[in-house]
Amino acid sequence: MKFRNFLKAHAPILLAALALQLLFFCLALHFKSIYITDSQEYLYQAENIKNHGSLYSWEWKKPFILQMWTLRTPVYGYLVYLTQLVSSSHFGILVLQNLLAFLNFTGLVWLLKDVKLPKKYLHSILFIALVFFPTHLVYTNMVMSELVLETCLFWSFFFLILYLKWPHPRWMLFYNLLLALAVLTKPVLVYFWLPNMLFMAYLVWKNRKKILLLQSLIMPFSIFALCFYNQQVTGYFHYTSIKTYNLSDYNTYALLTHLHGMDSAQAILKKINQTDADYANLEERLKHIEKESFAIIKENIGLYSWLHFRGAVNFLLDPGRYDLVSFLPPLQTKTEFGFFNEWRERGFAGILNYFSKLPLGLTLYMALIFGINLIMAVIFAWWGFFHRKQDLAVRIFAVVLMGYMAAAPGPIGCARFKEPVWFLLVFASVLSAQYFFNRKQSKHAGQIFRTNKETLV
């Protein structure tokens, strides 16, 4: 299909996506809720890249904060820096991200253009996916790296599908380069190099192209290169300090809160983390925090395993209320509260209390999103494990990546972490809809044939 014909055939859904992005961009301009704590760190990093050639992600003044030398990986900081060469306004970053988001969505529609579904069904599924996953539109319009990570992962998936259709190694070269960019955008993928190498070995066995194994080294080499750079800066060979602080401030904190309550958890963590002055260097501090955090988790491995599993479930089902109300201040309540906190502290009464504090319209919207998330999660599982008409390599990659991303955040899994792989759920939903639609059509055609045969007899 020529690209012009493609645009003509799918203009309604592409224009709808563009309109939704424009709406959220205008909301960003109006409310200016485009920053979270991470945003400031990326902005400082971009400033330090420009002025000092450093990845340090906080204000450039002494005493320097040890963890900030390696807290943020470089891609998004460099992207912000390059964008600000063109426009000093932070909204210039959002313009670029909206462009990337629209290109990603157009690429997704292109992958789905040949599905045997009526256009109205295809476009309806895509529109529902857009409207009922506001987290995607929110982070497209925030100074955050989620959308850039999504871009890297989506186009790696795109080139994987091209390779499976036309098995030329250049497609997998692009695939692996994009995965390398992804891990340099957000460190959540730092361990994905191993399943990726195993996946590439499977493709070598399937297609007999040994060069793929060499290409699979691009991602771990990129990780090694940043570790080496960090060693030159701090004296410690490691990928990022954020891994340690996530382990302490989120995973261990969630466990301690369940065991001892919030105040005691904060006191214990303060004792573990201490300050830079209590350690000789960054290596000593990070290793101490990791040792103490792992010891606490090991002592309570049963409870922690449950919290980790619950986080993975929340990753799939969270409707993204926090993201939406942070972006749209009029939706914020006087007291921000969490569903699981209410549930843990007050049981079923806490659930009722949680929903009673939400505006009715927002409550209904969140309930719809929760229901759609549940349906899409079930559909994805069916597609990934049982849809044998879909290429096995595509399903392996999608299931492994989705499972990895669901498990990585631990107890703090939520809609924000699902945003970079949201397209996999949409892709699986459309192909599953195609399967059941065609099955229904075949069954209907068979009934007509039998009826006609009986009439002739």
Whole-number pLDDT of residue 165: 95
At residue 424's C-alpha, the angle toward residues 418 and 427, to 5°, is 140
Whole-number pLDDT of residue 356: 73
Residue 339: CB partners within 8 Å, gap ≥ 6? 351, 354
Could you tell me which of 155, 104, 158, 110 has the C-alpha nearest to residue 130?
104
- Any idea of the CA torsion for 215, 221, 226, 230, to the nearest 10 degrees? 180
Contact criterion met (CB below 8 Å) for 106 and 14 = yes
Reading the block at residue 110, the tokens are 């292109």
Whole-number pLDDT of residue 456: 45
- What is the number of other CB atoms lying within 10 angstroms of the CB of residue 255? 24
At residue 101's C-alpha, the angle toward residues 33 and 129, to 5°, is 90
Whole-number pLDDT of residue 436: 92
Reading the block at residue 387, the tokens are 């849809």
At residue 79's C-alpha, the angle toward residues 78 and 85, to 5°, is 90
Reading the block at residue 322, the tokens are 């926090």
Q: What would the pLDDT profile of 49-74 be if each residue is shown by its tens digit?
A: 999 999 999 999 989 999 999 999 99
- Any idea of the CA torsion for 389, 394, 397, 402, to the nearest 10 degrees? -70
Secondary structure percentages of the chain, helix, strand, coil, to 5:
80, 0, 20
Of the chain, the end-to-end C-alpha distance in Å amounts to 45
Whole-number pLDDT of residue 448: 57
Predicted TM-score (pTM) above 0.95: no
Question: Tens-of-pLDDT digits for all 457 residues of the chain?
Answer: 689 999 999 999 999 999 999 999 999 999 999 999 899 999 999 999 999 999 999 999 989 999 999 999 999 999 999 999 999 999 999 999 999 999 999 999 999 999 999 999 999 999 999 999 999 999 999 999 999 999 999 999 999 999 999 999 999 999 999 999 999 999 999 999 999 999 999 999 988 889 999 999 999 999 999 999 999 999 999 999 999 999 999 999 999 999 999 999 999 999 998 888 888 899 999 999 999 999 999 999 999 999 999 999 999 999 999 999 999 999 887 545 566 566 656 667 776 777 677 788 998 999 999 999 999 999 999 999 999 888 999 999 999 999 999 999 999 999 999 999 999 999 999 999 999 998 887 765 656 545 554 554 5
Number of continuous H segments (helices) and E segments (strands) in the chain: 24, 0
Q: What would the pLDDT profile of 222-238 be if each residue is shown by its tens digit?
A: 999 999 999 999 999 99
Could you tell me which of 308, 314, 307 has the C-alpha nearest to residue 370?
314
Contact criterion met (CB below 8 Å) for 316 and 417 = no
Amino acid found at 178: L
Rounded alpha-carbon distances, angstroms, from residue 252 to 53, 292, 299, 411: 34, 9, 11, 9
Percent of the chain, pLDDT > 90? 84
CA 228, chain centre distance (Å):
27
Residue 46: CB partners within 8 Å, gap ≥ 6? 77, 78, 80, 81, 84
Q: 409-436 burial by CB neighbour count: b if 16+ within 10 A, else e?
A: bbbbbbbbbbbbbbbbbbbbbbbbbbbe
